[in-house]
Amino acid sequence: MPIYEYECTACGKAFEKLVRQSSPTPECPACHSLDLRKKVSAFAALSGSASGSADFPGPCGSCGHPDGPGACRFN
């Protein structure tokens, strides 16, 4: 289920809402208006642990390049 960002055109309140395809149109939590504008937002794709920290490679074992193995010509 996607999380959409909305902005109420009546009061200007911005909020997020978890929306199912079969869900009714959400309403503004502040003024209960149905006159909403869906905001453009980017999604996040996480890799690594559930805490959100990505698993980045350590330095290259041959040359010490900080981008990890394969970042240089030495392997």
* Beta bridge pairs of residue 3: 18
Cα–Cα distance between 31 and 7 in angstroms, integer?
Answer: 12
Whether the predicted model's global pTM rises above the 0.85 cut: no
Q: What is the pLDDT of residues 21-58, one digit of tens each?
A: 888 889 999 999 999 999 876 665 555 555 544 555 56
Question: If you compute the radius of gyration of the chain from its CA atoms, what whole number of angstroms results?
Answer: 22
Please, which pLDDT band fits residue 8 given cuts at 50, 70 and 90? very high
What letters, b where the CB count within 10 A reaches 16 and e where it falls short, cover 13-40?
Answer: eeeebebeeeeeebebeeeeeeebeeee
What is the model's pLDDT at position 2? 80
